[in-house]
Amino acid sequence: MNYLRYAVLLACWLVQAFLPLQGQRAEALAYFAQYYKDYGLAPRDLTGLEVQDLYTSSHNQVTHVYLRQTWLGLEVVGVQAAVHLDAERKVVKAHSSLVSDLADKASVVNPGLTAVAATNRAAAYLGIALPTPLRALTEASGPAQAQTFAGDSLLLEDISVRLVWHPHRSRLLLAWEVRLYPPDAQHWWTVRIDAQDGTWISQEDWVTHDHWPAPGLEQSPVSLSGPPALSRVGPSYRVFPLPLESPSHGSRSLLIDPSDATASPYGWHDVDGQAGAEYTSTQGNNVDAYADPQNNNYPTPGSRADGGASLSFDFPLDLTQAPAAYRDAALTQLFYATNVAHDILYRYGFTEAAGNFQQNNYGRGGSGADPIRAEAQDGGATNSAIFSTPPDGFKPRMQMYLWTLSNPHRDGDLDNGIILHEYAHGLSQRLTGGPSSVFCLGHAEHMGEGWSDWFALMLTMQTGDQGTDARGLGTYGLAQATDGPGIRPMPYSTDLSVNDFTYDDIQTLSHPYGTGFGWATVLWDLTWALIDEHGFDPDWYQGNGGNNIALQLVVDAMKLQPCQPGFVDARDALLLADQLTYAGAHSCLLWEVFARRGLGYSADQGSSLSRADGTEAFDLPPACRKELQLSLEVSPDSVVTAGQNLFFLARLRNTKDTPLNDVVLTCPLPPGGSYVPNSATHGGSLQNGRVVFPGVVMSSGSQVERSFQIMADLAQYTTTTFADDMEGGTTHWQVSHGAGTADWGQSSILPHQGSRSWFAADVATTSDQYLSLATPLLLGSRPWLRFWHAFNTEAGLSSAYDGGVVEISVDGGGSWTDLGPVLTGQTYTHTVAGGTGSPLAGRLVFAGNSNGYVRTEADLSAYAGQSVLIRFRLATDSSVGQVGWYVDDVTVFDLVNIQGEGWAVASEGDSVFATSPPPGVVVTPPVSLPVNWIDFQANPWGQGIRLTWTTAAEENNTGFEVQRSARSDMQLTMPLGWVPGQGATKQGHTYFFTDSLVKRGGTYHYRLRQVDLDGQENYSPVVTVDLPYAGRIDLSPFPILPKISYPLPWWGIVGSRFGTA
């Protein structure tokens, strides 16, 4: 692959992108230009990246940038990237589902089918009648050959057609995308047809259907009348005012101009942005409410309720009559509730720029021309409601039906809960993935029904409600009592005896309603936890209660979550929203809510495209646990040379609400190391092979640090059992195959280093290719495998079709065990799809594109002392190939490593145990020393501190940089000065340096950075001085410090900070 060529292309793209763009727009593109490898992409994959949506949330100044991918001028559908930047233009979150290797995956670039033929084929698949012949309203334009055909009277909208790329397995199929809106409005289809042969590829529906279960208990009809009108001037509406949920929950009232001046500055009946209403009916800027009993899906003369010149919408309501008798009252209720939802959500960030529903956006961003078409008493169905959400700039449609479970029938237009539920479908669709992308909530673990249920619950909360109350939704339409179970598997309640949902339940609940119920349960718990903390505020427009905070967090999180989010994605978006909007003030409260429902710190979502692969967990992150906590760090954290010093840092933290007394920390010396005398800080000392630190009082929320040093034993270090850089030919390996005839072979095309590697081709036929050690390998007591590899095999976003594994055998190849569970570094990436004929179907594999060489390691401790064979295995299915798998630089070590551990005990009985991160610090063989050290001391000296160090001999020593830090781990160092060395000498020499930039009462940590003539560096131990306390800190006898020089690829580590700090 010519990466230089595509680097140049990427640079050209950046120049073209940056010239017309400024600020966040350019920074979002630059982010992916810098970090494309982290997302499995190559530079050429970004050349067609375009900003699709961009807006800033005014309340927290977070900018959301949503990107689409194109190739050769055609959009790659079903994928997206997003970058979110804070007020300082710092990237706080990024997501990507972009397709890699576009050029390799694109099939053909010219369609074999015309737009007319594709449209007819799509309509035939759906059983939709089209006008004959199709009448073109526009000419084909651009690379996508986009065109519009007249729908005439047979469709609700004109037909739009364009060419797109459709990801399919590991290919990009050229497809015609056809958009069809049938006259019954039950579906709004986007169909993709193969542009070559006309076969069906995929279809999406912009319509969200809400179906309801069997009825509950029948109630008697109720006749309601409202109180007298208030003495205010403006439009008036006699309605069941929020927070009333339905006629079963209270009486109507006459409201005078309930519009919000911020969200609807010219009222609800304006469309021109000038004072005065343009309509006297239930039509305005945010919604056009009309009756549609014939299911015509468009307004007819007299189908809207008319309030006259005074805009008085005060109509009689007699619920003992059939719904047709009170149509105008129902239209008024629908118009009112939909407008209130618009106005309240506007205050929380569902604005014009974010893709809300308005005819006139008043110059405040967004596309406009998309008020909701709200159809009351729709004749298209019963006992249901639906909401159709097209992209920003296209009008959505809300269809409200009658309920036939009682006599007389009931009208869903009178149920605020149902109206709010439907409205929230539009909210979640427009905010997730940006207002121009409405394909993000059709996957297995989507939570659209959950956000809708929760929004309906939220705006119907009343003062005096309790979280433990049982709340059922849809009780009015179902003819249930107000405390009836409603439409979901269980009522909503924070009481686990009423609603015991946890995350694993989505595997067995229905989809999407059961999945949504689960997410709404989590959000309902979150809401009440915030109310318990901040109280309830009935003012939804300017309130400061826990309910207001919850609504703000949920709206913010929808903007931050990735396209096709799962429960853990949505959880993390809520946590990030809290960080960005409230500085993380509710972080632990949120974690407690999530943990209670199985979405704790260790919960694993798996793929959001499946409900069967998640794992619930009920734990909290360390920062939120009310306990004594201990963490251990070792520096350097990866590799140390035998004879070199290691710095152990222990951090104790009290996250309890009460203090802890006499907290004693104990750290046993790890095998393979010896204590550096006087290196323990804060009075620590060596006692019977353990470093013990005196007890300390820890107040609530406090943290203390303690440290000491050990020297790695010169006689114990890692040895190499087997190493092959593939430059010596095929001696160590043998090749064979199962299915097919393809085999591994040596290649000079892409070596990791040198000139050769092993390579297995990803062929377009079924194959099973083996590369095995030729002779068994006897493992030591701590065996460890490392290899470098690069792969590019056929894979989709979640499933693979071709891929490789690494396996081990202890019986000479008679049977093989997958090493997947013990891999570190680059682990398996995909699961091979079933039904493809692949010999590895159903198994985890390396697949997709690694974008160059990556390192993988495996802990072989389970096979210590045994003779083993190791093999690399690539399997392919019967169709579609890719590049293949390269393997190079295979090494097996007998590992010697040092890992720290420790424990702390308080007088109250609290205790904690911890180890440093596995596998610990690897000890490598000793090397020659540039400086023979004797001593390093730090002493108070007048008003300063004097450093003294002595060498016995030096070789190629340029000198020493003196460093100081306020931290004992020397993570934040200040260079104080430079002291020249003696070059090469066999004579001893003593050096002095005085630090006069200190203050009495402080604690100071020092070390030396020794530099050779060839630029290699070493670090001294850290010495600590507390002022004003006098006394010498003497680290002699001082251990030998090694010269750090690790030629690659020894353990794959390079760097200069491998000293004792």
Of 134-138, 145-149, 988-992, the range with the lowest mean pLDDT is: 988-992
Element (H, E) at 537: none
- 307-318 burial string, b = 16+ CB within 10 Å, else e? beeebbbbbebe
Cβ–Cβ < 8 Å for 565, 432: yes
pLDDT mean across residues, the chain: 88
pLDDT in tens, 781-825: 999 999 999 999 988 766 789 999 999 999 999 999 999 999 988
Write the burial class of residue 566 (CB in 10 Å: 0-12 exposed, 13-18 middle, 19+ buried). Answer: buried
pLDDT in tens, 766-775: 999 999 999 9
Is residue 226 pLDDT above 80, yes or no? no
Q: How far is CA 96 from CA 25, 577, 645, in A?
A: 16, 19, 42
Q: Distance between CA 735 and CA 28 in Å, rounded?
A: 47
- As annotated, the active-site residues are 422
pLDDT of residue 234: 86
Q: Which residues have CB under 8 Å from 124's CB, separation 6+?
A: none
Which pair of structure tokens corresponds to residue 580? 């960005």
Mean pLDDT calculated for residue range 239-251 = 97
pLDDT of residue 1042: 29
Cβ–Cβ < 8 Å for 625, 641: no
Inter-residue long-range contacts of 743-746, CB under 8 Å, 24+ positions, other chains counted: 743/769, 744/769, 744/770, 744/771, 744/872, 744/874
Which structural domains are found in the chain, ordered by start? 3-98 (3.10.450), 115-205 (no CATH), 236-595 (3.10.170.10), 719-894 (2.60.120.200), 928-1041 (2.60.40.10)
- Output 12 or 435, whichever has higher pLDDT: 435
**Percent residues over pLDDT 70 in the chain:** 92
Is residue 209 pLDDT above 80, yes or no? no
Task: Kindly indicate the confidence band of residue 3, based on its pLDDT and cuts at 50, 70 and 90.
Answer: very low
| Cross-strand pairs, 167 | 172
| Cross-strand pairs, 291 | 376
Task: Kindly indicate the confidence band of residue 23, based on its pLDDT and cuts at 50, 70 and 90.
Answer: low
pLDDT of residue 530: 98
Pairing of strands 287-291, 372-382: parallel
- Output 99 or 248, whichever has higher pLDDT: 248
Is residue 898 pLDDT above 50, yes or no? yes
Mean pLDDT calculated for residue range 169-198 = 91
Write the burial class of residue 583 (CB in 10 Å: 0-12 exposed, 13-18 middle, 19+ buried). Answer: exposed
Q: Distance between CA 64 and CA 82 in Å, rounded?
A: 7
How far, in whole angstroms, is CA 529 from its chain's centroid?
24
| Distance in angstroms between the alpha carbons of the first and the last residue of the chain | 42
Which pair of structure tokens corresponds to residue 947? 């450093």
At residue 441, the 3 state secondary structure works out as coil
Give the per-residue SS3 of 376-419: EEEEEEECEEEEECCCCCCCCEEEEEEECCCCCCEEHHHCHHHH
Which pair of structure tokens corresponds to residue 202? 């995929």
Mean pLDDT calculated for residue range 267-280 = 94
Cβ–Cβ < 8 Å for 260, 277: no
pLDDT of residue 160: 95
Is residue 10 pLDDT above 70, yes or no? no
Q: Distance between CA 358 and CA 206 in Å, rounded?
A: 18
Mean pLDDT calculated for residue range 583-610 = 95
Mean pLDDT calculated for residue range 372-390 = 96
Which pair of structure tokens corresponds to residue 42? 């190559």
Is residue 220 pLDDT above 70, yes or no? no
Task: Kindly indicate the confidence band of residue 26, based on its pLDDT and cuts at 50, 70 and 90.
Answer: confident
- Output 950 or 519, whichever has higher pLDDT: 519
Cβ–Cβ < 8 Å for 206, 390: yes
Cis peptide before 1028 (omega within 30 of 0): yes
Which pair of structure tokens corresponds to residue 206? 């912009």
pLDDT in tens, 59-109: 999 999 999 999 999 999 999 999 999 998 899 999 999 988 888 888 788
Evaluate if pTM is beyond 0.85: no
pLDDT in tens, 741-788: 999 999 999 999 999 999 999 999 999 999 999 999 999 999 999 999
Cβ–Cβ < 8 Å for 213, 232: no
pLDDT of residue 196: 92
Tell me 696's DSSP state: E
Is residue 1037 pLDDT above 60, yes or no? no
Cβ–Cβ < 8 Å for 533, 545: no
Q: Distance between CA 591 and CA 63 in Å, rounded?
A: 25
